[in-house]
Amino acid sequence: MRVCVIGTGYVGTVTAACFAHVGHDVVGLEQDPDKVAKLRKGILPFVEPGTEPLLQEGIAAGNLRFTDDVADAVTASEVIFICVGTPLTPSGDANVDALRAVATSLAPHLHGEYKAIVTKSTVPVGSGDWITMLIEDAMTPDQRSGHSFGVVSNPEFLREGSAVTDFLYPDRIVLGSSSEKAIDLVAQLYEPVVDQSFTEGRAELAPVRLIKTSLESAEMIKYAANAFLATKISFINEMANICERIGGDIDQIAEGIGLDHRIGESFLNAGLGWGGSCFRKDILALKRTAEEYGYSPQLLQATVEVNLLQRMTVVRKLQEELKILKGKRIGLLGLAFKPGTDDLRDAPALDLIDRLHNAGSRVMVYDPVVTDLGPRNESVRFAESVEDLADGADAIVLVTEWDEFRGLDLADLGPRMRTRVVVDGRNAIDPAEAAEAHFRYLGVGR
């Protein structure tokens, strides 16, 4: 099938590359000429494992291309995916300016062949009908009478760091629409993923479940999923904070409750809490929607507040151990909000940098892929390696659990430091190994 993907960020580029990989003809539409030039060369403008090889594969095969020409991309396609950002506004609403611009730009090119317009961006509930209205308002009377399009909500469930796997081997595919014709068209597009026919040697995989819903339900499913996962993390961090006070071990608690099939083992890792582009934005947008209809969601508010407070547990632990932080050298291991990505959006490390810098600490940072913090560059010193970070440090803090940080040689790092203090913000270091290297080890809920 012929597919257009509008927007080439994390979601858009992965979507385009994966649809090309399973056999469709895909064009990526992007207004930034620099991004278009890079993508045409098979260069991924961000870090996402496995995406660049698929990008280069599709370009070489001739079924993946990129353009900034709206007319070319839209008229050539049967299915059009909207993958633009909906960032949070100061009021807590989702900023839908990019969504509005895309919808109105589509109207002149929707004539003749029927097209399914798919929102893959996380959009406020009700956006499907709103997009339909925007497009129809920008159409000519002849276009409106032709019923040339239908809108489908197809929320993405891609985790940064494993987005390609999540796309090709999903837990489920959700399609929501009031147009049966549009939803059937998109379902046809997903057939290679549903039946796993694109995967050689993995015929034993069960078909992926495809769920068809109303527009509103599909839009709500994404918000509900992210809100639940974020709440689960905030919950286990609450339990960790209690464990620290009563002597329990949060790892044992998580194992004990996670084996209950009603709860499950995933997302029960205590630490500095969640970050990234989705959880906080989606929870606050959902909260804002609920309030518009007269309901105040207390649990959602608490989930966000617990997460923000959790980030400051590192500062509290450092204060308890080092007392005055002014004049202390603190090294942060990891900056990205999670391993496998260079994404700094809502990253806990940024809050730690600000708090420690304001407390008068000298903040040193090291991350395998992040080497630029924008305006915060003046607040930190970038280390060239873990060893460089440890030199003269009063404490090191594990912020992002990159694989290379899980096997830290503490025996080597210890002599380099002024004070042997390690704060394990992800519970990824063995406390026994830290003790053997004569470190004061401070975990979360341990």
d(CA 343, CA 153): 25
Burial of residue 131 (number of CB atoms within 10 Å: 0-12, 13-18, 19+): buried
Q: Where are the beta strands (DSSP E) in 188-337?
A: 209-213, 329-333
d(CA 256, CA 387): 37
Three-state secondary-structure class, residue 157: coil
Q: Are 394 and 375 in contact (CB under 8 A)?
A: no
Q: Are 334 and 349 in contact (CB under 8 A)?
A: yes
Which of 251, 237, 242 lies closest to 431, judged by CA? 251
Residue with tokens 């913000």: 425
d(CA 436, CA 431): 9
Which of 77, 99, 71, 59 lies closest to 3, judged by CA? 77
What contacts 252, CB < 8 A, 6 or more positions away? none
- Which residue among the candidates 18, 83, 243, 278 is catalytic per the annotation? 278
d(CA 8, CA 32): 9
Angle between helices 127-137 and 97-106 (to 10 degrees): 40
Angle between helices 51-61 and 10-21 (to 10 degrees): 50
> Any catalytic annotation for residue 18?
no
User: 329: which strand partners?
Assistant: 362
d(CA 419, CA 292): 52
Q: Are strands 25-29 and 395-398 parallel, antiparallel or unpaired?
A: unpaired
d(CA 115, CA 125): 22
H or E element, residue 101:
helix 97-106
d(CA 31, CA 49): 24
Q: Are strands 421-424 and 440-442 parallel, antiparallel or unpaired?
A: parallel
Q: Are 440 and 319 in contact (CB under 8 A)?
A: no
Q: Take residue 297 and report the two structure tokens written for it.
A: 């969601």
The residues that are catalytic are 278
